[in-house]
Amino acid sequence: MISYNEAQDIIQSEVNKLNLKTEQIDLLNSVNRVLAEDVFSDINLPPFNNSAMDGFAIKFNGDIKNWKIAGEIPAGKFNDYDLDEHSTVSIMTGSKLPSGCDTVIPLEDVEQQNDFVYLKKDARFAKGINTRKLGEDLLKGKLAILKDTLLKPHHIAVAASCGRSTLKVYKRLRIGVLATGDELVDIHETPTGDKIRCSNLYSIIAAIRNINMHSVNFGIAKDDKQLIHDRLKWALESELDILITTGGVSFGKFDYVKEVYESLGVETKFWQVKIKPGKPLLFGTYSFNEGKTMIFGLPGNPVSSLVNFFLFVEQNILNLFKLKINNKFSATLQDDLKKEDSKRHFMRGVYSYSDDGKYYVKKVGNQSSGNLAEMGKSNCLIIVEEDRMNPRIGETAECIMI
């Protein structure tokens, strides 16, 4: 059995060996994908001097406070005017400024009488106000979006302004999921006797989709060695980036998954981690052609399975894509926590942010690894380190948002 930190080091070392591939995709399909190229501007942004307000464009002279209206410039319908310091044009937001104009006075700061406008006494008046200069946002040929950026709608706006209809992004990882166990039935069935619905299959697939990776559903396999062998062989031959199984990796008589993995050529890197919940975690690798599949054998208990995913699968995928998600924080405990062993515990909790600028957290329920309903009420995991025993109300603990 190895420590949490040892397990993370081994997984990170192997996951970082995955070869990220790229693809060129439509701009609107690139939201929440990771950019695989630098994007440069093909034009100056803005491409001309323009007005930032609806108002009146002038050549600034601090001694002049009224102007004769010479015309109008709507957005997209530029007509140049040869203005002197005593004349102005009505101009709309985004409209190109006439030659020599350097200042825009907002509509609300003037009073209009016939063909003249007069500056109000309390109006702010300074050279250059309410204008945008050519290239002040971005000059032609300059970097607009940095490679490895997680693309959000505001990045799409920048790429569109740079004339990009497609972007090169990293391909999503293909992650297969297989649940095992004689007790499992699918969610459309009503369980009877000693059967339960298979929540693991759906929680893990949902967690994969939540980080925008591609999930492959290999369904449910009963605790039969040949059935598990056939299903795992199929999954391994699918040339996945990651294969996740739930159940069958503990010490039980019918826990065949570890044995079958190894018979199919999976190299076990470690088995069992000194944590709670989720101790029976198995991690290994499977080589095919010129590629490699990362193998995660998660426990069958639904809480343990999902916690293992958050800690070991999700975090290492985010690191692979250089996505630094700030999901850890320190919080003041509002409950006593019971921990009397040397494992690292990840307890389900609910955190809140107070007016005093601090996080507070309290535990949820009885912390059973099978209590999925209590997991559903949680929004964080409370970390209690290996050498820390029975933390008390008022002490501080590190937490992970989930």
What is the span of the domain harbouring residue 364?
Answer: 328-401
121 burial class (0-12, 13-18, 19+ CB within 10 angstroms)? Answer: exposed
Based on the domain organization, do 275 and 386 belong to the same domain?
Answer: no
Q: Where a domain ends, among 285, 320, 355? A: 320
57 or 254, greater pLDDT = 57
Q: Is the pLDDT of residue 252 over 80?
A: no
Based on the domain organization, do 11 and 59 belong to the same domain?
Answer: no
Query: For residue 311, how many other CB atoms are within 10 A of its CB?
Result: 24
What is the percent of the chain with per-residue pLDDT over 90, rounded to a whole number? 89
Based on the domain organization, do 120 and 161 belong to the same domain?
Answer: no
Based on the domain organization, do 246 and 119 belong to the same domain?
Answer: no
Q: How many domains does the chain have?
A: 4
Q: pLDDT tens digits for 144-173?
A: 999 999 999 999 999 999 999 999 999 999
Q: Give me the mean pLDDT over the 350-359 stretch.
A: 94
Q: Is the pLDDT of residue 264 over 90?
A: yes
Residue 38: pLDDT band (50, 70, 90) is very high
Q: pLDDT tens digits for 304-325?
A: 999 999 999 999 999 999 998 8
What pLDDT is stored for residue 325 in this prediction? Answer: 82
Q: pLDDT tens digits for 48-64?
A: 999 999 999 999 999 99
Q: Where a domain ends, among 320, 336, 368? A: 320
Pairing type for strands 87-91 and 66-73 reads parallel
Based on the domain organization, do 119 and 220 belong to the same domain?
Answer: no
Between 2-16, 213-227, 244-258, the lowest mean confidence (pLDDT) is in: 244-258
Q: Where a domain ends, among 261, 296, 320? A: 320
Based on the domain organization, do 347 and 389 belong to the same domain?
Answer: yes
Tokens 């350097």 identify what position? 102
Based on the domain organization, do 188 and 298 belong to the same domain?
Answer: yes
What pLDDT is stored for residue 201 in this prediction? Answer: 95
